[in-house]
Amino acid sequence: MYSLERRAVMEIGTSVLTAIGHTPLVRLRRVVPADCATILVKVEGHNPTGSMKDRMAQAMLAAAEADGRLRPGDTVVEYTGGSTGAALALVCAARGYRLRIVSSEAFSEDKLIQMAALGAELILVPSANGRITKKLILDMIDTAAEFGREPNTYWTDQLTNSASIIGYHSMGEEIWAQTGGRVDGFVQAVGTAASLRGATTPLKQYNPRLRVVAVEPAESAVLSGGRPGAHLIEGIGIGYQPPMWDPNLPDEIIPVPTADAEAMTRRLATEEGLFTGTSSGANVIAAIELGQRLGPDATIVTILVDSGLKYLSTNVFRASRV
């Protein structure tokens, strides 16, 4: 049985990488309606770059080092909307690798600045109307693949890299320990599908009856059988089924419109004091929908994927500016 130990206040880490994980689990109060299940959120913005992606970046590079695909002096390449790029930049800085990131101005300026600040070299791919589309994702992948063919280069290829799934096992273990083994439902939005699969692996082992819900943008609800479309929920909804998607894992899929996700994101900030991103707002909406069906005796856990500091330049919080 996994034991979650509280870290001593004065503990000294050997590097910034020791600060990854062990994030808080917080109960929502004001945004949850009456007669709803208890809704708990894993506050992944407490990771060093402000995102759960620190877990998978560390796992992907550690696996590549272990089997020799990544060696001292090599360059790491990836395509990303930003959070994976910042996480890889953190790990590369700590481990001494050069990093080239393929991204786009369709993603928040805050994320682009953060990646560059952590040492990433940015290559930006244009996007039609500044929106996230299937074509944009495929163009980014093709560009990263081209760089990945250069000598002494390791392309992490997050959409197919199964080491990222292992990186999220710790999230599930932490949730089980923090709840004292009381989890009836788990809700998570789907980008690569690694976090959904990774976190539910230990949770399902502990509770085989766990109800698992996947979340996607309503404007591009391809996992639900819909057509791909443009949306503004960063980090999820790539416009086609990601290679690591397991259709047999979730008990249901809940599509959430961008506008609703943005509105809940703002409510989380002003009513709960939880500053996060739009995919987190979508997660909470879906968790509440599940919680209203399961009732007040149930406990639902979902993820606040990242920090709202990554979205200051976007429309999500623009209305809040003085």
pLDDT tens-digit readout, 163-186 = 999 999 999 999 999 999 999 999
Burial class (CB in 10 A: 0-12, 13-18, 19+), 117: exposed
- The answer to whether residues 128 and 175 belong to one domain is no
> Do both 41 and 58 map to the same domain?
no
- Residue ending a domain, choose from 121, 155, 189: 155
What ranges in the chain are assigned the alpha helix state H?
Answer: 53-67, 83-95, 109-117, 134-148, 163-167, 169-178, 194-206, 258-272, 278-294, 315-318
Position 229 in a domain: yes
In a domain, 163, yes or no: no
Tell me if 4 is assigned to some domain: no
Residues 262 and 283 in one domain: yes
Record the pTM: 0.92
CATH number at residue 79: 3.40.50.1100
Other Cβ atoms less than 10 A from the Cβ of 1: the count is: 7
Q: Which domain holds residue 300?
A: 16-46+170-318
Q: Are residues 293 and 181 in the same domain?
A: yes
Please indicate, yes or no, whether residues 213 and 309 belong to a single structural domain of this protein.
yes
pLDDT tens-digit readout, 56-72: 999 999 999 999 999 99
111 and 210 assigned to the same domain: no
pLDDT digits (tens, 9 = 90+) for 194-252: 999 999 999 999 999 999 999 999 999 999 999 999 898 988 999 999 999 999 999 99
25 domain-assigned: yes
Q: In this structure, are 32 and 100 located in the same domain? A: no
Residue 164 is assigned to a structural domain of this protein: no
Phi, psi (deg, nearest 5) at residue 154: -120, 120
The answer as to whether 145 is a domain residue is yes
**Can you say whether the dihedral through the CA atoms of 241, 244, 247, 249 is positive or negative?**
negative
Kindly state whether residues 62 and 127 are assigned to the same domain.
yes
Q: Are residues 124 and 272 in the same domain?
A: no
Structural domain total, the chain: 2
Q: Which of 308, 313, 290 is nearest to 37 (CA)?
A: 290
Say yes or no: 25 and 101 in one domain: no
Final residue belonging to a domain, choices 117, 132, 155: 155
Q: Are residues 73 and 29 in the same domain?
A: no
End-of-domain residue from the set 155, 188, 221: 155
8 pLDDT above the threshold of 50: no
Q: What is the mean pLDDT of residues 244-267?
A: 97
- Say which DSSP state 231 is in: B
CA distance 115 to 98: 12
Q: Answer yes or no: is pLDDT of 29 > 90.
A: yes
**Does one domain contain both 150 and 187?**
no
Residue 165 in any domain: the answer is no
Residue 176 counted as domain residue: yes
Q: Is the pLDDT of residue 123 over 50?
A: yes
pLDDT tens profile 88-97: 999 999 999 9
